[in-house]
């Protein structure tokens, strides 16, 4: 690597031992490290990650991280997912030399009692993988427990939605051509080695509707130049790539497995979109804006609509200026709740917990469900609406303050806490609503 490449590698200085303690120096002995999920991926660089976020790649070697990644998705886990879990498309894609294979190439019927025609076929996968095809397991933040937990914790650390895919590549094979992603990624090398070639963006900070295929010629031209970063990832290494950076990867030696954690960032364009939506809604109350264009209007002729356009422009600018931040934040809050799941819950366990509240008359052993993203919306009559990833729950006046205390306390059970102060009727309702869970 060039000196530039070395500057962006977070690793040990020659002769220095690996550092695995990522607790901030000013933290007490019982303090929880800030952003623990992020620290698992970038180590001590988590403290200054705000400067790296969205701007430049960051390579962190295994020696500078608390642990490897095999506990997240081992080779046995991959085999289990594709052979015993009844996965269907789109939870699996298969690619070879830059092209995605049709679904029928790796799916089949589910057999007696399962009238599903697109289940993953382990028999077909054996042949395809031996022939050099890459398996892409998608949506692992929904299907594999260790990655459900990591993705939820990382989304909490970053404040942006997260997804997880896995790429399992046979020796000396390349899954996809040079391209860029429209989301940031953390690449976690689990097994084997893979060579990554990173090039400068041709379209920095692309939006979700600005894929690399819209810049195909520029991508091919940049990919022919000397790469910005040319590195081999080994087990336990992590590479962070902001959206827009071109990349391609080739497996070396044996089978290579890596996880790609995709981070879909909220952007200023997101704010702009919601701001304009709110302004347009307000313009629906403007009689002059609602007026029809004159008879004989030719909307394809800019001169024909010039005066009307100026009226609309002036009213729209005025409406945009009048929208307050709360009207932007409200709909975005709903999007944020929909973008991630709360901590998984089991229907049987929840019913047992509710029955235990009934029999004991106590909320002991319950805690606020993690990653709930819960907020209270107060109403004029003193009641409130509890909004969360578990859904909406109407609260009568008597229940509002206990729930407010619960959210402020984050449901911590130590020393009794706000959970223990809940009455049995309210506790039971919150359990059945998926707000409280057994601990």
User: For residue range 363-416, what is the model confidence (pLDDT) as tens digits?
Assistant: 889 999 999 999 999 999 999 999 999 999 999 999 999 999 999 986 555 545
* Whether 147 and 183 share a structural domain: yes
CA–CA separation, 117 and 108 (whole Å): 6
Residue 224 lies in a domain: yes
What pLDDT shows up at residue 175?
Answer: 59
pLDDT at residue 383, rounded to an integer: 98
**Where residue 208 sits, what CATH number does that domain have?**
2.60.120.650
Domain residue limits at 386? 347-438
CA distance 69 to 192: 12
**Domain shared by 226 and 285, yes or no:** no
Q: What is the pLDDT of residues 293-339, one digit of tens each?
A: 999 999 999 999 999 999 999 999 999 999 999 999 999 999 999 99
Does some domain include residue 118?
A: no
Structural domain contains residue 80: no
Q: Exposed/middle/buried for 348, CB within 10 Å: 0-12, 13-18, 19+?
A: exposed
The number of folded domains in the chain is 3
Residue 53 lies in a domain: yes
d(CA 209, CA 270): 12
- 335 & 362 share domain: no
Quote the radius of gyration of the chain (alpha carbons, Å). 26
- Domain end marker among 229, 248, 263: 263
How far apart, in whole angstroms, are the C-alpha atoms of residue 98 and residue 173? 10
* Cis ω for the linkage preceding 90 (within 30 of 0): yes
In a domain, 223, yes or no: yes
For residue 303, the model assigns a pLDDT of 93
For residue 30, the model assigns a pLDDT of 43
Q: Low-confidence residues of the chain, pLDDT below 70?
A: 1-33, 114, 174-175, 410-416
Q: Are residues 230 and 162 in the same domain?
A: yes
Residues 318 and 426 in one domain: no
Same domain, 251 and 382: no
Q: Is the dihedral angle over the CA atoms 33, 39, 44, 47 positive or is it negative?
A: negative
Bridge partners of residue 10, in order along the sequence? 60
Residue 115 placed within a domain:
no
Q: What is the pLDDT of residue 33?
A: 63
Pairing of strands 9-10, 58-60: parallel
pLDDT of residue 34: 81
Q: Are residues 404 and 284 in the same domain?
A: no
Residues near 282 by Cβ (< 8 Å), separated by ≥ 6?
319, 322, 323
Is residue 383 in some structural domain? yes
As a whole number of angstroms, the distance between CA 125 and CA 400 comes to 54
Same domain for 168 and 54: yes
Residue 416's pLDDT is 57
Tell the burial category of 310 from Cβ atoms under 10 Å away from its Cβ (0-12, 13-18, 19+).
Answer: exposed
């Amino acid at each position: 690597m060039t000196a530039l490449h070395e500057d962006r590698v977070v690793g040990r200085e020659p002769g220095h031992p690996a550092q695995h303690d990522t607790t901030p120096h000013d933290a007490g002995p019982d303090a929880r490290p800030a952003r623990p999920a992020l620290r698992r991926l970038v180590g001590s660089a988590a403290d200054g990650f705000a400067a790296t976020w969205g701007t430049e790649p960051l390579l962190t070697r295994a020696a500078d991280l608390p642990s490897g990644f095999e506990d997240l998705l081992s080779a046995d886990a991959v085999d289990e997912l594709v052979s015993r879990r009844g996965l269907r498309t789109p939870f699996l894609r298969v690619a070879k030399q830059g092209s995605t294979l049709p679904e029928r190439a790796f799916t089949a019927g589910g057999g007696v009692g399962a009238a599903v025609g697109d289940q993953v076929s382990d028999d077909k996968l054996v042949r395809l993988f031996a022939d050099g095809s890459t398996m892409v397991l998608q949506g692992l933040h929904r299907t594999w427990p260790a990655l459900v937990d990591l993705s939820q914790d990382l989304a909490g650390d970053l404040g942006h939605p997260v997804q997880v895919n896995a790429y399992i590549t046979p020796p000396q094979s390349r899954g996809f051509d040079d391209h860029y992603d429209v989301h940031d990624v953390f690449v976690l090398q689990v097994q084997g080695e893979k060579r990554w070639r990173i090039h400068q963006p041709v379209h920095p900070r692309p939006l979700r509707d600005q894929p690399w295929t819209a810049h195909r010629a520029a991508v091919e031209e940049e990919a022919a130049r000397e790469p910005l970063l040319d590195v081999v990832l080994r087990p336990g290494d992590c590479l962070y790539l902001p959206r827009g950076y071109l990349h391609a990867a080739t497996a070396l030696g044996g089978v290579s497995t890596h996880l790609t954690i995709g981070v879909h960032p909220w952007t200023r364009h997101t704010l702009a979109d919601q701001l304009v939506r709110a302004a347009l809604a307000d313009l629906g109350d403007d009689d002059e804006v609602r007026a029809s264009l004159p008879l004989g209007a030719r909307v394809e002729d800019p001169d024909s609509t010039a005066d009307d356009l100026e009226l609309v422009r002036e009213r729209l600018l005025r409406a945009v200026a009048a929208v307050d931040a709360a009207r932007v934040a409200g709909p975005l809050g709903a999007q944020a709740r929909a973008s991630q799941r709360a901590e998984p819950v089991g229907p049987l366990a929840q019913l047992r917990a509710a029955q235990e509240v009934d029999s004991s008359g106590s909320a002991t052993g319950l805690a606020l469900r993690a990653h709930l993203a819960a907020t209270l919306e107060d109403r004029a009559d003193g009641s409130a609406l509890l909004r969360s990833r578990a859904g909406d729950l109407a609260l009568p006046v008597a229940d509002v303050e206990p729930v407010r205390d619960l959210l402020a306390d984050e449901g911590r059970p130590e020393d009794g806490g706000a959970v223990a102060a809940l009455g049995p009727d309210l506790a039971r309702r919150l359990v059945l609503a998926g707000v409280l869970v057994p601990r």
